[in-house]
Amino acid sequence: MKKLLLSTLYIAIGATFSYGQYCESGGPSQTIDSNLEWLTLNGATGSINYTGCPGVTGVVHYTSQMAYLNAGSSYTVNLQFGTCGGNYSGVGAVWIDFNQDQSFDASEVIGTWQGLPPTAASVFNFNVPAGSTNGQTRMRVMQYEGGSLPLNPCASFVWGSVTDFDIYIQNGVDCSSYIGDNMNDPREVTSLPFTENYSSAFCYTNQNTVYPSPDVFYLVHIPAGVSSIKASLCGSTFDTFLTALNPDGTVITINDDSPTCGTQSEIEISTIGIDSVFLVVEGWGTASGDYTLSINEGTLGFDDIQTIDAKVFPNPATNVISIESGEYTHYKISDLKGSAILEGDFNDNITVDISELSNGTYIINVSTENGSEILKFVKR
């Protein structure tokens, strides 16, 4: 789709990669009044017997007990939306993150409540979907005094409670062999041409690359002498989106819709001076499904790309680095979040004091009239 919002595009270009995780910055700011009073859940094995009062601010993650649930089976959670003080009306909801994407989705609500405590305890019967992902996940219980349904599982408010419980799902979908869910465990490509027919519909999760759709990560090791690669999702069964990342997670380029195959994506990038590139396959919006990824040597030759031969040394460095290009150069040193730290110009080479920088990895963009290059160094 071509409706990619400019703001989203800007985030994609400007952001480095980040992993999904449960929102834990919301919850109540006060400890009195409306609160989950108790909760019980008997699993296939293991059970949770929780007592809520006195109240706690923020999101509470209760890890003392865990219930094991079988995918495809039904269970009952009993709980008392109540109070640790006075009685004020409110609403409540319970979610279980069945697909383990660290997000409590509207489709994962197993019960809701509204009323004025004390009311009868809530009894939520729920079925664990057969397609749930095996492994440890979370149940979230939110009580929001004065709120209204549907609740945002990440909401911040004054009175109430947010309590997370550990759940273990078994007999569901085993995702342990699904390589490529994140940058640390990519599907490796070691020779070209490469073609894979694959699916993002099961086990993969959103890792916040542009869209909420699940992402599949590839690490392409660039063969010697290959000056560019072309990656294509043409022939896939859904509306795709493709991102190329540097090994540090910074975005090289993106494509939504290729000019040659409609809503599927294609990119071609120079690989001169690059050892490896991450490719992230995802869907537009929440789309996922069967796709075909083809990676071939590109048509951009060494002659097509003006380049420079800049170096940084020593690397790692503690006090100073030298940047050398042999010509008049503008340089900019940034952290991995893209924030510029130092910037300037030099002729031929320069020595830069980095003694005040925090330890970590930094990026240097160097540009001359002959082209630009991205260097990297580690401060220790």
Chain mean position to CA 288: 16
Asked whether the beta carbons of 101 and 80 are under 8 A apart, the reply is no
Return the number of other C-beta atoms located less than 10 Å from residue 145's C-beta: 24
Does position 239 bind Ca ion by CB under 5 A? Answer: yes
122 vs 132 by CB, closer to Ca ion: 132
| Nearest distance in Å: CB 336, Ca ion | 20
Tell me the HSE value of 165 on the side-chain side, using a 13 A CA sphere. 32
Name the pairing type of β-strands 27-28 and 156-157. parallel
99 vs 227 by CB, closer to Ca ion: 99
Question: DSSP of 136-198, one letter per residue?
Answer: EEEEEEEEEET--SSPPTT-EESSEEEEEEEEEEESSB--TT-TTSSTTSPEEE-SSSEEEEE
Number of residues located near Ca ion, criterion CB under 5 A = 16
What tokens were used for 91?
Answer: 């609403």
Which of 37, 97, 145, 373 is the binder for Ca ion (CB under 5 A)?
97
The three-state secondary structure class of 296 is: strand
11 vs 340 by CB, closer to Ca ion: 11
Does position 213 bind Ca ion by CB under 5 A? Answer: yes
Burial class (CB in 10 A: 0-12, 13-18, 19+), 92: buried
| Nearest distance in Å: CB 104, Ca ion | 6
Residue type, 349: N
Q: Which stretch binds Ca ion (CB under 5 A): 7-15, 78-86, 147-155, 283-291?
A: 283-291
Does position 257 bind Ca ion by CB under 5 A? Answer: yes
| Nearest distance in Å: CB 186, Ca ion | 15
Eight-state DSSP code of residue 9: H
Which of 83, 99, 227, 246 is the binder for Ca ion (CB under 5 A)?
99
80 vs 263 by CB, closer to Ca ion: 263
Does position 256 bind Ca ion by CB under 5 A? Answer: yes
With CA atoms as reference, report the closest residue to 111 among 36, 172, 12, 186.
36
115 vs 129 by CB, closer to Ca ion: 129
Which of 211, 238, 291, 362 is the binder for Ca ion (CB under 5 A)?
211
What tokens were used for 27?
Answer: 């919850």
Does position 368 bind Ca ion by CB under 5 A? Answer: no
Q: Which stretch binds Ca ion (CB under 5 A): 112-120, 174-182, 219-227, 281-289?
A: 281-289
| Segment holding 231, helix H or strand E | strand 228-232
Q: Which stretch binds Ca ion (CB under 5 A): 7-15, 128-136, 198-206, 334-342?
A: 198-206
Does position 325 bind Ca ion by CB under 5 A? Answer: no
| Nearest distance in Å: CB 31, Ca ion | 29
Which of 105, 196, 268, 335 is the binder for Ca ion (CB under 5 A)?
105
What tokens were used for 4?
Answer: 């990619």
Does position 215 bind Ca ion by CB under 5 A? Answer: yes
Which of 205, 206, 243, 329 is the binder for Ca ion (CB under 5 A)?
206
37 vs 101 by CB, closer to Ca ion: 101
| Nearest distance in Å: CB 286, Ca ion | 9
Which of 33, 37, 164, 282 is the binder for Ca ion (CB under 5 A)?
282
| Nearest distance in Å: CB 263, Ca ion | 4
Report d(CA 242, CA 269) in Å as an integer.
Answer: 12
Does position 237 bind Ca ion by CB under 5 A? Answer: no
Return the number of other C-beta atoms located less than 10 Å from residue 116's C-beta: 11
Angle at 93 between CA 88 and CA 94, to 5 degrees: 135
Does position 243 bind Ca ion by CB under 5 A? Answer: no
Task: Please compute Rg for the chain using Cα positions.
Answer: 26
50 vs 211 by CB, closer to Ca ion: 211
| Segment holding 370, helix H or strand E | none
Eight-state DSSP code of residue 25: S
| Nearest distance in Å: CB 256, Ca ion | 4
- Residues of this chain that interact with Ca ion (CB under 5 A) are 97, 99, 101, 103, 105, 206, 209, 211, 213, 215, 239, 256-257, 263, 282, 284
